[in-house]
Amino acid sequence: MRAFLWFMGLFVAGFTVIALLAWPAYEWLSPMMDVKFHRLANRIGQLSLLVGFILVARRLALADRGSLGFGLPRAQFLRELAVGLALGVATMLPIALLMVGLDLRVLREGVTLDAALFAQLAVSGLLTGLVVGLIEETFLRGAMHTAIARESGVTAAIVLTALLYSAVHFVGRYRIPVDELGPDSGLRHISGTLAAFADPMGILDAFLALAAVGVLLGMVRALTGNIAACIGLHAGWVWVIAFLRETSVPDETSPLRFLLSRFDGVVGWMVLGWTLVIGVVVHRFYARRTGAGGGSGSATDTPSQAS
């Protein structure tokens, strides 16, 4: 568990830096430029997390391509990413269409489904999916999975990264009104961004659905020994969800509304059930593709083996 605690420490350190530096930084910068406190606080936290990640990666011998999940040759990595992307779209699209077909989500007011909108969402959604997939999978299914698997085994790596993957989705956006800013704003910003955890039953359906997705990604990581497929799957799912969110909203009058979470109106009991179904399909696909993990390298490769 020591490796897991190192990564959890990164988040504690990030929140501590926000609490200590966000307000002084805002006081220093605001007279010179138009800076939003919440954006500045978030950027400070992200920068501290990045610096901490680099230090922890070096400390735990993770600062190599194999440990970060990039051990495949570039051409093969991109090919596996593309396969994962196509599979991600193919597995998310049916549940998205079912939400619309059951009138669980209805067209946004003022939205016109034309070629221009689809082209715009195709580009922006894909870029968002690839960026989100690259960042999150490098951190979670790359470095963190490797560190925990070496110390505690693959099962622990899959479960712990899945739980953290789910939890980070509930670190929400929070804004303090300008006239209420003060020396305690850093602490208030942290408490606001973590407010969802104060009502665990209110996010239970979404948390379990996202945790199931995390387990699925972890199993793919364990089978393939790299994060190419994880990035592709992640990006494909985000791509479809981007279309869904930008064009529709939950129908609050639907008797089946409970199937979609109050958290974001997409993940919830329906997505949890669907993830269990596609999990079997995706697991079998990659088990066959890799020869049950033997084709693309071990999930616990050492730096010397992966280089």
Model pLDDT for residues 16-57, shown as the tens digit of each residue: 999 999 999 999 998 888 899 999 999 999 999 999 999 999
Selection from 272, 253, 270, 238 nearest residue 106 by Cα? 253
Q: Which domain holds residue 156?
A: 65-172+197-306
CA distance linking residue 171 with residue 11, whole number of Å? 11
43 found inside a domain: no
Which structure tokens are listed for 135? 């960042």
H-helix segments, the chain: 2-29, 37-59, 74-101, 115-137, 145-152, 154-168, 185-193, 204-224, 228-247, 269-290, 303-306
Answer yes or no: is 48 within a domain. Answer: no
Say if CB 133 and CB 230 are below 8 A apart: yes
Tens-digit pLDDT profile for residues 228-286: 999 999 999 999 999 999 999 999 999 999 999 999 999 999 999 999 999 999 999 99
3-state secondary structure of 275: helix
Task: Say whether 145 sits in a helix, a strand or coil.
Answer: helix
Is 14 a member of any domain? no
Determine the angle formed by the axes of helices 2-29 and 37-59, rounding to 10 degrees: 150
Residue 10 lies inside a defined structural domain of this protein: no
pTM: 0.89
Q: Looking at the domain assignment, is residue 204 inside a domain?
A: yes
Q: How many domains does the structure of the chain reveal?
A: 1
